[in-house]
Amino acid sequence: MDDLIYNYCALCEAIFSPEEILPEVVLRKYGLLELTDKQLRRLEAMEMKRLHEEKMTLNEIGKRFNMSDSGVYRRIKKVKEVGE
């Protein structure tokens, strides 16, 4: 597939996806962004922390990321520890 087609596919998926997903995840899926698994988990954890600070519950965040609320809590806690 041509690179331009990948760009359009990524754009359409990011716009029309039924759930809110991080743009980095879509770009990585189509090979347009090189991220290691560790970097992707860090980005997801930072997004979880941001959503929690906006008064979203751990359960709601967990549903969005397909995780348990305790898993979300551990990732947020780890981001806070590293950031301090």
Q: Is the pLDDT of residue 1 over 70?
A: no
Higher-confidence residue of 23 and 1: namely: 23
Query: Residue 54 gets which letter from DSSP?
Result: T
Q: How far is CA 8 from CA 4, 28, 29, in A?
A: 6, 14, 13
Q: In the numeric block, which tokens belong to residue 20? A: 């809110």
Indicate the pLDDT class of residue 76, thresholds 50, 70 and 90.
very high
pLDDT tens, 24-72?
Answer: 888 888 888 888 889 989 999 999 999 999 999 999 999 988 899 999 9
pTM value is: 0.74
